[in-house]
Amino acid sequence: GQQVMQIPQYQHVQEGEDFTTYCNSSTTLSNIQWYKQRPGGHPVFLIQLVKSGEVKKQKRLTFQFGEAKKNSSLHITATQTTDVGTYFCAGNSGTYKYIFGTGTRLKVLA
Amino acid sequence: IAGITQAPTSQILAAGRRMTLRCTQDMRHNAMYWYRQDLGLGLRLIHYSNTAGTTGKGEVPDGYSVSRANTDDFPLTLASAVPSQTSVYFCASRVQGTGELFFGEGSRLTVL
Task: Summarize pLDDT for B56-92 with one digit per residue, the tens.
Answer: 999 999 999 999 999 999 999 999 999 999 999 999 9
Task: Count how many residues are written for chain B.
Answer: 112
Q: What is the mean pLDDT of residues A23-49?
A: 96
A59 falls in which pLDDT band (50, 70, 90)? very high
Question: How far apart are alpha carbons B33 and B102 in whole angstroms?
Answer: 10
CA end-to-end distance (rounded Å), chain A:
41
Question: How far apart are alpha carbons A25 and A18 in whole angstroms?
Answer: 24
C-alpha closest to that of A92 among A74, A67, A65: A65
Give the number of other CB atoms < 10 A from CB of residue B49: 22
- 47-106 in A: which are within 8 Å (CB) of B? 48, 88, 90, 92, 96-103
Task: Summarize pLDDT for A67-84 with one digit per residue, the tens.
Answer: 999 999 999 999 999 999
Closest residue to A101, CB basis, from B42, B58, B106 = B42
Is residue B1 pLDDT above 80, yes or no?
A: no
Question: How far apart are alpha carbons A19 and B46 in whole angstroms?
Answer: 31
Q: What is the mean pLDDT of residues B38-54?
A: 93
